Amino acid sequence: MLNVTPVSNNLTSPQRRTKKVGIIYNDVKPVACQVTQELKVRLEAYGCQVATATGLGGLLGYANANKPAKFIPIESLVPKDFDDAMDFAIVLGGDGTVLSAFRQVAPAGIPLLAVNTGHMGFLTETYLNQLPHVLEQVLAGNYQVEDRTMVAVQLVRHNQPAWEALCLNEVVLNREPLTSMCHFEVTIGRHAPVDIAADGIIISTPTGSTAYSLSAGGPVITPGVSVLQLIPICPHSLAARGLVFPSAEKVIVSSANPDPLVMVVDGNAGCYVAPGDRVCLREAKYPAKFIRLKDPEFFKVLREKLGWGLPHIAKPTSVELP
């Protein structure tokens, strides 16, 4: 559920109050590494205590098909020195780094200011050239915190948890290496199971409704709606269409395929799903806390990033031939 909380201005200047600030950055991008060092120096000059970490800690990778998945508890991904005493953290990277960073800081309840050093930057709040001014604004407490729903995903094998992760965008189940028909049994809450035959399925949050599920034909869902959506990928039936349901409902997905499937979470974490395994999803108790510099305007982001709702140019009524 979307929850926007204003943060009161309790500073007369950035230098007057010591804060604990974190920086998470994409260490693959030289610009992010350089800005991290410069930002750390600037924050320390303001009297802040600064902790840094790379986004690598949230990239759980993919288990090998011939080896068991490695169980890493959700809470264990919080970086060293990142705790509930931290006022906020800054993430430097693109959308992938933002997704990874929330997997790291959400259990500690740390708000994130997302600074775009990537391409699309759909989840980011500001750009590098605006960072000096934005930094002073945030240190002065002039911002809001917007809560976004996350999903806790768990692979259950022989009635024991074998793998788990937090998800902000979507969970995808499909077969590899080649796309082919899969059969899924999906149970949502107390409702009867449904069978889906498709190349795969996507279970998406409202935040993820503008990502993979949108490309697969799913609707855009505004962040303030407490729902999840189930989108079949290339279904083998005209009756198999997307489904929107309350986020409070627990979801259990079982595979009827003799071969393993691949589960991918937010595009940067995942594992293999063997026959007999169950994938369990439920709304996480840890929301993603986005720092917003002004009131969130979702439709504006849709227009700027995806071109949604732009006015059409009228065609001429007549054409003059040379």
Helix boundaries (H) for 67-139: 95-105, 131-139
Could you tell me which residues are annotated as the binding site?
Answer: 95-96, 169-170, 199, 210-215, 268
Residues contacting residue 311 through CB under 8 Å, at least 6 positions apart: none
Task: Show the tokens assigned to 223.
Answer: 């962040």
Q: Give the up-direction half-sphere exposure of residue 122: CA atoms within 13 A in the CB hemisphere.
A: 17
**Of 131, 136, 104, 103, residue with least CA distance to 117:** 131
Angle between helices 131-139 and 30-45 (to 10 degrees): 40
Could you tell me which residues are annotated as the binding site for NAD(+)?
Answer: 95-96, 169-170, 199, 210-215, 268
Q: Are the beta carbons of 202 and 218 closer than 8 angstroms?
A: yes
Report d(CA 166, CA 287) in Å as an integer: 10
What φ, ψ does residue 64 adopt, rounded to 5°? -70, 140
Q: Which of 81, 83, 84, 95 is catalytic?
A: 95
Catalytic annotation present for 95: yes
**Of 270, 217, 224, residue with least CA distance to 247:** 224
Helix (H) or strand (E) holding 32: helix 30-45
Q: Which residues are catalytic?
A: 95
